[in-house]
Structure 1
Amino acid sequence: MTGNQTAEGPKHKKNLTRRKVVVAGAGVVAAVGAGGTLAAGAFAGETPKGKKGAGASASSSSSEVCYKLTSETTEGPYYIDADKIRQDITEDKEGIPLTLSLKVIDSETCKPIANAAVDIWHCDALGLYSGYESLSTGGGGAPSGAPSDAPSGTPTGEPPSGEPPAGGGGGGGHEEPTDDKRYLRGTWKTDKQGRVTFKTVFPGWYRGRTVHIHTKVHVDGKWTDAGYEGGHTCHTGQFFFDEVSVLASAEVEPYSTSTTERTTLTEDTIYDQSGTQGGLLKLKYNKKNIAKGVLGSITMGVEPDATHDGTDDAVQPGASASASASASAS
């Protein structure tokens, strides 16, 4: 962790009535050094979609545009509720440096959502999830108890068929952690512009899933010196990487040492093939040397008054997600 990033907070336990996370100190919206500089212009090239609203101006005129509601997806079995309050989630994991710059807006009004708690979590360069290493596939083969949001069957040129085993999918199936490691997990607060930045590494892949990052957005809670209390989860989604970037990463160690057959973006049963709306990141990196680092950015249009916790209203694996901006948008 560098510069003005704060240290991680202590662990906490989730109860049935409220969500509470512990923050370290009052500097919760501090910039991320160089990452903060990158974040400032990360969204300039994105193409807004949808209807007019009351958000940021799309040009020098008074015309304004909104983004479509971002697709909801399954939470997956490996979520740990706000276990680490930090922006740098790398710890000691090897991999291509990734700065993830996110913006959260109200899909109806276009207004940025400040003070939201944003979670991200993903596997390491060889497919392991912290907290669940004994259940993760890793870099070779698929042991019993492999990630249960992965469809059964060996990935081929055709998309894997059928729903995943019990424990994955869109209907919950959360697994309790099997170890106390927490690398590549973190929670941070959106600023007044709805922005939040994380420092991590480019994810690897595991059997049956394309390269992805999980995310949750929590709103209507209260940040205090003691933590973030109350509120609800208004968005549960996943971020995805285009094939060109993944193929480039596969040439770099330790990704190049993986023996796990990869599922492509078009074969994945969670990604709904809708581009940015479905969570496809905009990526910037040196095309001749991706190992130097990647900047990934996206604007998430969410429905702050709705509850989408990824356990009962998310898109089912193998289903085609709807492009409609309804409360059950995929």
Structure 2
Amino acid sequence: MPAIRSLLVAILPLLASVAAHREPKTPKEIEVQRALQAAAYHCAPAVAEFTAARKRSWAQKVLAGRPSLPGYEELFASGTYNDMIGAAPHGDQTFMECSPVRDTQIQNNSCVLTPVVTEGPYHHKAGHPIRQNIAELEDGLLLLLDIGVIDVETCKPLPNVLVDIWQANATGFYAGHPVPAPHLVNEKPQVGGKRAGLLTAYPRSNDDETFLRGAWPTDANGVAQFTTIFPGYYTGRATHIHTKVYPTWTTLPNETFTSHHLAHVGQFFFDDDINIRIDNMHPYTDNPIRYTYGRTRNWRDSLNIFQDSHGPEGEYNPVFKLDLLGGVLSQGLMGYITMAINASASLDNYWQG
């Protein structure tokens, strides 16, 4: 741990010149990102146990006070909780040079420095409710999210930081943005280039809608949990969920928040294989572009956001680790991921494109 702190002491003075950017571009910025990423790799063993402990806690919460239910090994899909068994690393073997290979299940999302990427055009700087259940009345596949946040400087969980998330509904629309601008109703997606597949962002024309938006502070164990639905897709973008992290914030009388300290902006993704199965479930089959442009795969994500989310060395995994909530997919999913952030960073809290 002293070596990590020494590394961070050397690079923290450079963060002021990097924090305002959405992704590292200059050689200096990339050097800072790589140094932080290297420091985060030392946290990988701690993150593996962090994830297992969260799964254990969640299973116990589900079963608490219900003696008629079987244990989690029988209630949930086979193998869901195998990684809760504390197994020692298998020699010096590593996965992607950062996650220890265990005899149980490899937690390959334990490369944990989360790259900063664009927030996108659909964030509402004001009006995100502080709540755990963000689904409101939106129909879709149940998705429970378990988002851990650790401090890259200490490899320890970060309690009481506000995790803000927002996403599209099952048919690809964001709350507050139901239709395109009138003069762009017949616009076609961009062909070729970095913006391939994208349309002009829909304007905010309904200020009352708040579905699939919300923020919640991490608990004493550095975890924020949400109830939502599996997100839908829209042209040009891979299926994703947006996130911001605020170390400090002020709660407003209407149960929303304001903050002047934004430490992280990022996006989470899902494996294409699970997307393919959910594409065939209602109401995802009602997506208006299902039979025209279709869903954009991760590797074709516009603006290189999926690729950038892997970090300069391509070794961070921004994809949720998903477990079935029951024996079949239609019963829902539980998604786990861990972010490692620098809580002392300060980013501009607005979309920069």
| TM-score, normalising length: structure 1 | 0.63
* Partners of 1:176 and 1:250 in 2: CA distance: 27
Shift of the 144–110 alpha-carbon distance from structure 1 to 2, 3 Å rule, reads: farther
* Partners of 1:187 and 1:263 in 2: CA distance: 27
Q: CA RMSD in A?
A: 4.0
Q: 1:130 aligns with which of 175, 188, 191?
A: 175
Matches within 5 A, 1:61-210: 67-81=111-125, 82-135=127-180, 143=185, 152-153=190-191, 160-163=192-195, 176=204, 178-210=206-238
Give how far 1:239 is off.
Answer: 0.7
Contact 1:120 1:186 in 2 (8 A): yes
Contact 1:100 1:197 in 2 (8 A): yes
Give how far 1:227 is off.
Answer: 7.6
Larger helix fraction of residues: 2
* Partners of 2:300 and 2:120 in 1: CA distance: 18
Which residue identity lines up with residue 152 of structure 1 in the other structure? Q
Shift of the 224–75 alpha-carbon distance from structure 1 to 2, 3 Å rule, reads: closer
Question: Unpaired runs of 5+ in structure 1?
Answer: 1-32, 53-57, 59-65, 137-141, 154-159, 169-173, 317-330
Give how far 1:70 is off.
Answer: 0.3
| Paired position in structure 1 for 2:319 | 280
1:261-314 per-position Cα deviation (integer Å, ceiling 9, x unaligned): 1100111131117388252111112797322101111000111111234757x8
Contact 1:36 1:197 in 2 (8 A): no
Question: Are 1:251 and 2:295 matched, yes or no?
Answer: no
* Partners of 1:307 and 1:144 in 2: CA distance: 40
Contact 2:190 2:199 in 1 (8 A): no
Contact 1:35 1:99 in 2 (8 A): no
Which residue identity lines up with residue 156 of structure 2 in the other structure? K
Contact 2:111 2:315 in 1 (8 A): no
Question: Are 1:263 and 2:289 matched, yes or no?
Answer: no
| Paired position in structure 2 for 1:24 | none
| Paired position in structure 2 for 1:4 | none
Contact 1:72 1:308 in 2 (8 A): no
Identity across matched positions, percent: 33
| Paired position in structure 1 for 2:33 | none
Question: Are 1:215 and 2:243 matched, yes or no?
Answer: yes
| Paired position in structure 1 for 2:330 | 291
Which residue identity lines up with residue 267 of structure 1 in the other structure? R
Matches within 5 A, 1:21-100: 37=61, 67-81=111-125, 82-100=127-145
Query: Computing the radius of gyration over CA atoms, which structure comes out larger, 1 or 2?
Result: 2
Give how far 1:144 is off.
Answer: 5.1
| TM-score, normalising length: structure 2 | 0.59
Which residue identity lines up with residue 271 of structure 1 in the other structure? F
* Alignment length (residue pairs): 249
Shift of the 143–291 alpha-carbon distance from structure 1 to 2, 3 Å rule, reads: farther
| SS of equivalent residue, structure 2 residue 247 | strand
| Paired position in structure 2 for 1:240 | 269
| SS of equivalent residue, structure 1 residue 75 | coil
Give how far 1:204 is off.
Answer: 0.7
| SS of equivalent residue, structure 1 residue 266 | helix
* Partners of 2:343 and 2:226 in 1: CA distance: 22
* Partners of 2:205 and 2:59 in 1: CA distance: 30
